[in-house]
A and B are shown apart, each in its own frame.
Chain A
Amino acid sequence: DAGVIQSPRHEVTEMGQEVTLRCKPISGHNSLFWYRQTMMRGLELLIYFNNNVPIDDSGMPEDRFSAKMPNASFSTLKIQPSEPRDSAVYFCASSLAGQPQHFGDGTRLSIL
């Protein structure tokens, strides 16, 4: 049973560059969540989708961040332009209505 798949697992890039993180949710799940984890702030919800529609993006730090879910099996989180303070582990999770969330293994992002 394939879980939530995130790519890349690691990304190192220079500040100012565009970064795109990808997520494939578990097949059949209708909700998708993007989280960010840092030592200082812990795990924070950035945005979540229900049936491919963004429901709450109040956690998105600023306009440099954007997320899309063009279909039920794919989502992207984009940072443009990236800054060193965006360095973190980014997690994607998916769930079925009323069920627990399943998390991917995360993307470790380093902005130099």
Chain B
Amino acid sequence: DAKTTQPNSMESNEEEPVHLPCNHSTISGTDYIHWYRQLPSQGPEYVIHGLTSNVNNRMASLAIAEDRKSSTLILHRATLRDAAVYYCILRDERVGGSQGNLIFGKGTKLSVKP
């Protein structure tokens, strides 16, 4: 599976936007970009995913570079509840839909200051 690179940690102020970067220079044409987050003492939680076009949902936005070698998860207004470890994961959808493994890296630990 193609690898992703994320900063170890980031800080944000409450109510401000947060841009979490992810590099994936070896991404293949069939890799979807998935983002999950893990709040303290909880299991990972799906945030958003996309292939080529930018995506929006109620939790966040995903901006994908034109060459697909990087992407950015955007939290429009950070809250204290958004403090978590954010994982950027590539998943080859050819492997079989839900059968495709999620390979978690170390992620980015986001701290939100009041």
Measuring CB to CB, which residues of chain A are less than 8 angstroms from any residue of chain B?
4, 29-31, 33, 42-45, 48, 50, 55-56, 91, 93, 95-106
Contact = CB atoms under 8 A, between A and B. Distances in A.
Contacts of B49: 100
Interface in B24-83: 34, 41-46, 49
Contacts of B101: 45, 48, 56
B106 A105 contact: no
A95 to B, nearest CB: 4
Given A91-B43, A93-B43, A106-B43, A101 B98 contact: yes
Interface of B: 34, 41-46, 49, 87, 93, 96-99, 101-106
A43 B44 contact: yes
Nearest to B99: A50
Contacts of B102: 33, 45, 101
Given A42-B104, A42-B105, A43-B104, A103 B98 contact: no
